[in-house]
Amino acid sequence: MDLPPFEQAVARICAQNRRYAPEAYLFLHAGLMRTLKQTEEREKKARHITGAELANGLREHALAEFGPLAMTVLGHWGITRTRDFGEIVYALLAAGLLGKTDEDKIEDFDDVYDFEEALRAPFRPKPPRKSARRLVKKT
C-alpha cells in the first residue's frame, strides 16, 4: 500500500529517530491545520503562527480529540512537554514539510504550559460551591 507523501516522510523520520510515534507527527499536522484555520477565521486573514500559538492550539486540539485521556495519549506517543511539539516541528522542517520565518526558533516551544495543568486540570472535579446558608427563624 502506498502512503501519501506526508506519511511517507513521517515514516522516514521515524525510521531515523524513534523518539516520537508516527501518530505524534500526524496529530501535530492536524492540530497545526486546525490552529491555522481558527486563526484565519478569527482574524479574517491567513498569517504565520508562533510556536507558543501552535502549542496552545495543540492543547486545544488534544482536549477536543482525546478529552481526559489527552495527556495519556500524547505521552504514549512520546510527547510530555511543549518542547516536544517543537522537536516534532523542527523534524518536519528538516524534512522540508513545513516552513518557518527567520524569527522562529525551537525555544519558542519551551515551557509554554505545564501538561498536568493544561491537559488534566480541566477534567478534575470542581470543589462544591459554598451555598448561602438559609437562616430559619424558629417560631
The answer on pLDDT for 69 being more than 90 is yes
Q: Summarize pLDDT for 83-128 with one digit per residue, the tens.
A: 999 999 999 999 888 888 999 999 999 999 999 999 998 888 888 8
Name the pTM for this structure.
Answer: 0.85
What's the mean pLDDT in 58-62? Answer: 97
Determine contact, residues 77/85, Cβ cutoff 8 Å.
no
Mean pLDDT of the chain: 90
Q: How far apart are CA 21 and CA 19, in angstroms?
A: 7
- Pinpoint the alpha helices (H) of the chain: 5-16, 22-43, 51-66, 70-76, 82-94, 115
**Domain extents for the chain?**
5-123
Q: What pLDDT band is residue 25 in, cutting at 50, 70 and 90?
A: very high
